Structure 1
Amino acid sequence: MKKILLPALAFVTLSACEDIWNREGVGFTGIDGEPRTIVESREAAGFVASRDSVPAELAGLTTPQLLTEETDPAKVAGVAIDNGGRVPGQAVEIGGDRQTLMLSTVSVNNVLYAVLRTPEGAADRMDVSTGPQFAASIPRLTGCLIGGNVYQKGTSSLRTSGFAAPLNCR
């Protein structure tokens, strides 16, 4: 009897808080995991994927497997940025606030990184404020959780050529 009453009591208690068919709140981000509106997603992420299926397109790309003797996490991320895709076929094109950006994955020392770079031939570099926006967008863009800090290429406090963040895809 306890096996039936306890789950029923939990269901009734939780459903009393809100309509059970209202799929808003923690864990519900809209239809098929997409943001509810484009405006909402731009404000939250800083940029919107130019296509609806970025995680699927990203999974279809070859991920370079690299080894380095570097042990400093920032230098290992720098290797990932240096080898991140900058052309279609090696990266997925996503739309930025002011420019097109390229998203790819690179494995360095068996750690998978999401890499965001400017396209090949682009004269502009990214604003460093793109880093936190990139970090917030990683689950939506890659289908994985962020597994650490976001690293930038270079030491400039204003502009960078790329960002890398380790992924936790388990």
Structure 2
Amino acid sequence: MIGSVQCTSCHGRFGVESLEQPTCVRLGGMLRDAQYTVALALLAAGGTAHRAAREAACAAVRDAGFEDCGEAQVLAALAALSGLGGELYDAHGMAGGLAVELHAVLEPLAPHLAQPGRERLLLQGAAIALADGRYRPQERDALDAVGRCLDLPQARVGQLLEAATRAPY
């Protein structure tokens, strides 16, 4: 095959266009980072005052593959990304560092996930938002931003978030 590369794992040969796709290791890392970032964004949106939300966010982070990451590490990462000493959100929506991180992490991943995978990421965020009660306006805004970054149709985002309010968590 002219212009081919060989995989070091399976030893198969593929066209050079395959280099444009992430490896399975890279894709796994992108997904792990996406779950982590969504958890931080939703925790920031709802605030850190409610234990149930903190626990849900920490559980999502651990489920993403950060098994040793506890509440102190999650809150420290949140403070570092927020770039703000007090409020994590301003009048215009998500704090700067979190908004940038959400776009930087989710948008490159979206083309590599089927719609059910993108929806699952959104619903993981919804579970964090709902852990301490109904959606707050800032949580809904953050979930809408997650949906946009994942290239989900706005109508589908609304359907999923509504269905999540009826799901047992």
Q: Is this a same-fold pair by TM over 0.5?
A: no
Q: What is the TM-score when the length of structure 2 is the normalising length?
A: 0.27
| Structure with more strand by fraction | 1
Q: Which has the higher contact order (CA 8 A, sep 6+)?
A: 2
| Structure with more helix by fraction | 2
